[in-house]
Amino acid sequence: MKKFRLFTPGPCAVPEEVLVEMARPFRHHRTDWFKGLMKQATEMLQQVLQTRNDVIIITGSGTAAAEAGIVGCNPPGSKMLTIEGGKFGERWGEIAQQFGIPVTRHAVEWGTAATPQIVSDLLKKDPAITCVMVVHSETSTATACDLKAIGEVTHAAGKLLLADCITSAGALPLKPDEWHVDVTITGAQKSLMLPPGLGFLGISERAWQVIENNKNAHAYYLNLNKARKMAKESDTPFTPAHLLVRGLVKALSILLEDGMESVWKRVAAMAAATRAAGEAIGLKVFSKSPSDSVTALCPPAGITVKDLRNELEKRYGIESAGGQDQLKGKIFRLGHMGYVDEMDTVLAIAALEQVLYKMGHKFDLGAGVTAAQKIFAERLA
């Protein structure tokens, strides 16, 4: 018997109720049935993203939503600043370049976060910059930045702020309206407990003014003005992935039943437990500013990431992620997003201990689980 357990930081585990919801017979999308679903989904997304701004639902993965935001917010004469500390930060700089958008791509060391100081210094140095894009939770390095503090800097400087919140929305505290985030970007298959295929953007009025006046948006399918016009009628410009929208209503209702504050606390506890467990069994936490939605650990000397991940999968069906590019072979990652709870986290840590033990790593068997248990038990008390 093999029971698969998805601990990758996307796609993440989906509740059975959501899968069943999407398996039910469906109707055509140009109907009041679907408009009702879109209306519900949009209102729920506003609650999950904690915003009163318009939320646009895009058929496509998170990258599609990000591309729509980048292209829409950069009319001729604009200039973008991206802070890149991992794979995803780099992607946003690449998109800008591919579309011929003038862009300053500022690299920070992988495993460190974008800081308000860096953003402030770069904005002072180059007043031509009109918008800034940061990654709230850089999944490739399991690193989170202080988005609120960065929002204060961009707001004071009068610049638009775009934030990749793909692994922060539904996991980390996020308040785009209070934090002056103009474009909040996320996707379906991380904390929002859906299979891949939808992207979402929360867009401020300030950003809409730029997008609406953008005469040169090289976007047809990902044109936000078209999407907004249709969204006013709870409709979409093209055929939507309507079963995913149906699943979304179900998934978000599960999140909202807990309430976002409670979800954030649970995710933080799972991350704290995983970090504590790692340290208790001699594994270093990679990031200097760890995100709570995903943890990157360094394997012990003499054990390769490849063998460790293979063993976790072979023995207990645990799917983890490795490192990408410069972090390949250096880290492995366990997600705390989607349909995972405290006991799933204990299970993953127990499996990790068993596998490391078998592979010859010397540590106190059970020390990781004990460290995690303490954190969870204190939450119950």
Ligand X SMILES: *Cc1c(COP(=O)(O)O)cnc(C)c1O
- List residues binding ligand X (CB under 6 A): 10, 61-63, 88, 135, 137-139, 164, 166-167, 187, 190, 196
Residue 91 vs 228, nearer CB to ligand X: 91
Query: Which of 221/363 has CB closer to ligand X?
Result: 221
CB of 134 to ligand X, least distance (A): 11
Neighbours of 128 (CB within 10 A): 10
Phi/psi for 161 (5° steps) reads -120, 120
What is the smallest separation between the CB atom of 281 and ligand X, expressed in angstroms? 26
Nearer to ligand X, 55 or 281 (CB): 55
In the bound complex, what is the minimum distance in angstroms from residue 268's beta carbon to ligand X?
18
Of 337 and 371, the one with the shorter C-beta distance to ligand X is 337
Alpha-carbon radius of gyration of the chain: 21
CB of 251 to ligand X, least distance (A): 15
Please say which residue, 144 or 272, places its beta carbon nearer to ligand X. 144
Whether the upstream peptide bond of residue 11 has omega within 30° of 0, thus cis, is yes
C-beta of 328: minimal distance to ligand X in Å? 17
Least Cβ distance, residue 61 to ligand X (angstroms): 3
Cβ 201 to ligand X, closest distance in Å? 13
333's CB contacts (< 8 A; 6+ apart) are: 8, 9, 139, 142, 294, 295, 296, 297, 320, 321, 322, 323
Between 137 and 204, CB nearer to ligand X? 137
Q: Given the complex with ligand X, which of 274 and 291 has the nearer CB atom?
A: 291
